[in-house]
Chains A and B, each alone.
Chain A
């Protein structure tokens, strides 16, 4: 008790020395700080894994290139994929939920702040462990350092007999740790939204973002365990001589694939539903209209979550399942398109007739909308089993899922950063630099990933370190590599923008976008306790009600 008071006095008088401030961040249990640490950590790994992608594009810029060796290329490919999913996508998105969910429901913190901190540090050290493999993985001479088994790590190729040394163990343990961390966050988000909503905020009045946060949290609870369980089995195989994936003892060669994709496909939606959530908050504010079809939006998200649990084997058409299996998984895959289409129409309906403001968050949202549509369409193409047989493991698949992961998710993450940066820091991000960032990133993205569809249609296989000249692939690959450089330049501008705006950006004030959800009713950045007095809400746009007492929303809901 006494130490708490002393700390409070310290805060209010002189700024703490460097070490003291660092210590404060390490011991914090504040959801806002942990959220920012998640996002900051995720962005750091975004740059690292992005540079790895850039190296691969350099290697592939011209045929028969020798920038990196085949072995190094395999490691780059594995680390890039694993890091982008578990060390970039997951922490940034859970970081946003960490930061926003309590603010949006008028709570002072998550339900279990210490569990939250525990989850963050599990993620952090899990992430370090993955990259530490470059130093520590060389346990067996000639067996390689970093994992080189692909982000999917198909057993039995990851068994001891085929994957010597320690590199695969680093992959297993690192991802196991980060998954446990994510599970902790998911439990926290669910308990928070069920138990800590402020007075008047019924489930039907929660912002769409909070709804989708709960949906994603439930998906994490159900989809992460299959991966963790399979990883435990693989560890048992590798260290105790068990035979889960050992075909010589009668084990199955495709059981791992099933377990991995039972996790892996919902994982795609665990990553994309949060950006649906961002879009559902940002697009209305920049269209000056309420979200079109709130209930349908929520219902569609629940439907996507439900259906996505039953589509995993569309990643395995080439394995040779039964015709009935192929038909089932092709059909269920098509089915996802229905609720997804509903959401796209709802966002367009929100913009329709609105007073659009083309600020940077809105620009990124529009890019997201268009690119996500294209990604969905190529997804439907790949969901058709015979089409998939033709194009499986080609660059068409690479182009398709990068349209989802970059074109939709990364674009929308940037939109969210531009939108909520003022809330978290009290400063606006520079608009002009932001415009440069957006347009360069857009051009770079399309230069890279549009041609790769055609590389795939021409039969260029993925995960291969080079290709031969004279097969019509040179031009496509050169353009794609130039596009990667343009994207890197855009990200560099973004990094400069963050530094520049933190130091001397325009003061934001509590509500720079004239928005309607609760987080904009407190100061920027919010105090540690968020709200001095617990808010009371009567509609889905509580801040609108406060600003327009003569015409409150609850009259119409």
Chain B
């Protein structure tokens, strides 16, 4: 009775009741909090520029990793193409672009490893050498950790693709993962600018 009366006099609710997908909101919130986390490390880096009491100083040992940067930034493009292909249902093209993304990400990690190896064994420059070492290894390392986490997730999706479990129904999931990857790339732009441009 009451509900019948309600249905007759209640204002019509808009026919369309669409809310954003929870996965997208969730990953956006995660990216927001990660941004805050990185900001503190970037602030610490900038705060300690030029405050090291002992050498080496950034100009002595750092060279901008240009190839690495190009690889990582272009992986944002390939992951975007991959998601687009999956939306159209083209799983093979998706797999090719996805694998390219993984390869570019791996190249970045290997590049970082080579750089750190040179710094540690050739220049004897470690996290405990001076304030520069402290902030350099923690900021770049924190980013590399995020690249590693992203790569692990990309590889899991790749394995699922090879196993034939990925189709256009999962385009949304891969897109959400790609947002994280874009975020990792965007952070690199900030880290690169801070460490190799401003800090040098």
Contact = CB atoms under 8 A, between A and B. Distances in A.
A446 interface: no
Given A187-B29, A194-B20, A240-B128, A538 B134 contact: no
B113 to A, nearest CB: 18
Contacts of A297: none
Interface string B118-148: 0000000001101101110110000000000
A199 to B, nearest CB: 5
Contacts of A250: 48, 51-53, 130-131
Contacts of B17: 199-200
Given A200-B13, A243-B128, A249 B53 contact: yes
Given A233-B44, A249-B53, A554-B11, A221 B32 contact: yes
A556 to B, nearest CB: 12
B152 to A, nearest CB: 18
Contacts of A262: 40
Interface stretch (B2-10, B56-64, B67-75): B2-10
B41 interface: yes
Interface string A172-194: 00000000000100111011101
A529 to B, nearest CB: 17
Interface string A203-237: 00000000000000110111111101110110010
B19 interface: yes
B198 interface: no
A252 B47 contact: yes
A251 B138 CA distance: 15
B22 A230 contact: no
A195 B29 CA distance: 13
Interface string A249-268: 11110010001001000000
Given A186-B33, A195-B22, A249-B53, A549 B6 contact: yes
B40 A226 contact: yes
A24 interface: no
A224 B44 CA distance: 16
B52 A229 contact: no
B65 interface: no
Contacts of B29: 186-187, 190-191, 217, 221
A221 B25 contact: no
Contact of A187 (B10, B30, B44): B30
A298 interface: no
A538 B36 contact: no
Given A242-B134, A538-B11, A225 B33 contact: yes
Contacts of A550: 5
A244 interface: yes
B25 A225 contact: no
Contacts of A194: 19-20, 22, 25
A237 to B, nearest CB: 8
A230 B37 CA distance: 9
B13 A536 contact: yes
- Most chain-B CB neighbours within 10 Å: which of A225, A252, A552? A225
Contacts of A190: 25-26, 29
A197 interface: yes
Nearest to A262: B40
A241 B22 contact: no
B197 interface: no
Given A194-B19, A538-B10, A545-B6, A249 B130 contact: yes
A196 B20 CA distance: 9
A199 B36 contact: no
A284 to B, nearest CB: 22
A199 B13 contact: yes
B77 to A, nearest CB: 28
Interface of A: 111-112, 183, 186-188, 190-192, 194-197, 199-200, 217-218, 220-226, 228-230, 232-233, 236, 240-244, 249-252, 255, 259, 262, 536, 538, 545-546, 549-550, 552, 554
Given A225-B33, A249-B130, 16 more contacts: A111-B22, A111-B25, A111-B26, A186-B33, A188-B26, A190-B26, A194-B19, A194-B20, A195-B19, A220-B33, A221-B36, A228-B37, A232-B138, A236-B127, A244-B44, A251-B134
Interface of B: 2-3, 5-6, 9-11, 13, 17, 19-22, 25-26, 29-30, 32-34, 36-37, 39-41, 44, 47-48, 51-53, 127-128, 130-131, 133-135, 137-138
29 contacts: A112-B26, A183-B33, A187-B30, A188-B26, A191-B26, A192-B22, A195-B20, A199-B13, A200-B13, A222-B32, A222-B33, A223-B36, A225-B34, A225-B37, A225-B39, A225-B40, A228-B37, A229-B40, A233-B138, A236-B138, A243-B131, A249-B53, A250-B53, A259-B40, A536-B13, A538-B13, A546-B3, A549-B2, A549-B9
